[in-house]
Structure 1
Amino acid sequence: MDDEKNPQGVIHTLFILVESQSDIKIDSVLMPWARALKEVQNGKIDALFGARYSEERVLFLG
């Protein structure tokens, strides 16, 4: 994040590129890791980037 709390970095740049080349809309939301896992488990968000593989996570992240 920059000084104004805007996302930045390689993943954010990739999201911008995907949006510009497709009809996909990507909203990046920064939140604590534990909350992000619960949001995915509860179906409130569609994806979680930066997650490492684990047997437990594969059950709800696919």
Structure 2
Amino acid sequence: MQVVEHADWGDITAVVQSVRLCLRRGDGRQGAERKPGDTAVGLAQHSIARAAARALAEKTP
């Protein structure tokens, strides 16, 4: 696990909000309409959100 020493909380907050919007919106497409790269993008967004949440949890008293 990589420890975040000096996190830019503005950037982390922006990433988390962006991922939440993407997950909530779902880009308005149905499963059959997804492109092959969409799965990788979704996994990357999920991974970034998890890392941001983990960093926030480590830094929050």
Query: Normalised by the shorter chain, which TM-score bucket?
Result: under 0.3
Question: For the pair shown, which has the larger CA radius of gyration, 1 or 2?
Answer: 2
TM-score normalized with structure 2 length: 0.25
TM-score normalized with structure 1 length: 0.25
